[in-house]
Amino acid sequence: MNCLGTWALSGLIAISLLAGPAPADTISTSAGPVEITPIHHASFTLRAGGKLIYVDPSPASLFSGKPKADLILITDIHGDHLDPGAIEALSQPDTTVIAPAAVAKTIAAAKVLKNGQSTSWGGWTIHAMPMYNIRRGPKPGELFHPKGRGNGYVLTYGGKRFYISGDTENIPEMRALKNIDVAFVCMNLPYTMPVEEAAEAVKAFHPKIVYPYHYKGQDTKKFAELLKGTGIDVRLRDWYAN
């Protein structure tokens, strides 16, 4: 192939990488690798030790025919986090669903974890923590996410700690987190928080790695810019390719 051909081909490969679904990232732990794959908006998978965990699988159309889940974690009742059709599509007889009580009203088989509670599953420890709005809501006196309804999660596996924010603002419980290796932090308006507030929260608890997720319509490059010089590894992935 001539030079021009090679150049054109590498250009095509670069474009297809940008346009395609986000590739998996691997985090090494003392129990072996954890593979992270963004799927859509708040949905992603964690694969470790031959087990597959889905977080907030939605919408159902993206999950039919996909590998079955060993564990499904749900954060809240809104449709971008809870889609009963997706849970049905991913479930097999020994699939565990862990969710807050508000979700268990719809998914009767879910094992309920309240804010502050922990449980073990496989080699993982799963701790539920608050996620909520401090001031944003559909109208005065109402919040999109009242405190106590939904769960953020801190997962521990092989000595590494993974934080999943759920839908939240810059809450004190997030800022007080310690020793987080990998954080998934939401940022979108009007429902959660703008990138500036997300960056402030992330600076406060200083994870080693942060993935902006649940960021539809937001400028995640600006988020990365705001964290420059902090030493935090900001991983921008395309969560909207699917």
Determine how many CB atoms are found less than 10 A away from the CB of residue 175: 14
> Do the Cβ atoms of 146 and 115 come closer than 8 Å?
no
Minimum distance from residue 190 beta carbon to Zn ion (Å): 11
Binders of Zn ion in range 62-81 (CB under 5 A): 80
Establish if 56 lies at the interface with Zn ion (CB under 5 A). Answer: no
* Residue among 36, 145, 139 nearest 80 (CA): 145
Minimum distance from residue 43 beta carbon to Zn ion (Å): 10
User: Given the rule CB under 5 A, which of 21-29, 46-54, 156-164, 166-174 is the region that contacts Zn ion?
Assistant: 166-174
Determine how many CB atoms are found less than 10 A away from the CB of residue 36: 24
CB of 121 or CB of 144, closer to Zn ion: 144
Minimum distance from residue 81 beta carbon to Zn ion (Å): 6
Residue of the chain from 56, 83, 167, 169 that contacts Zn ion (CB under 5 A):
167
Torsion sign, CA atoms 183, 184, 188, 191: negative
The rounded distance, in Å, linking the Cα atoms of 146 and 148 is 6
Q: From residue 102, how far is each of 74, 96, 107, 110, 156 by CA, in Å?
A: 10, 17, 9, 10, 24
Per-residue contact flags (x/-) with Zn ion for residues 111 to 150, judged by CB under 5 A: ----------------------------------------
Minimum distance from residue 214 beta carbon to Zn ion (Å): 6
Q: From residue 47, how far is each of 53, 54, 217 by CA, in Å?
A: 6, 9, 28
Minimum distance from residue 73 beta carbon to Zn ion (Å): 14
CB of 80 or CB of 169, closer to Zn ion: 80
Contact residues: Zn ion, CB under 5 A: 80, 167
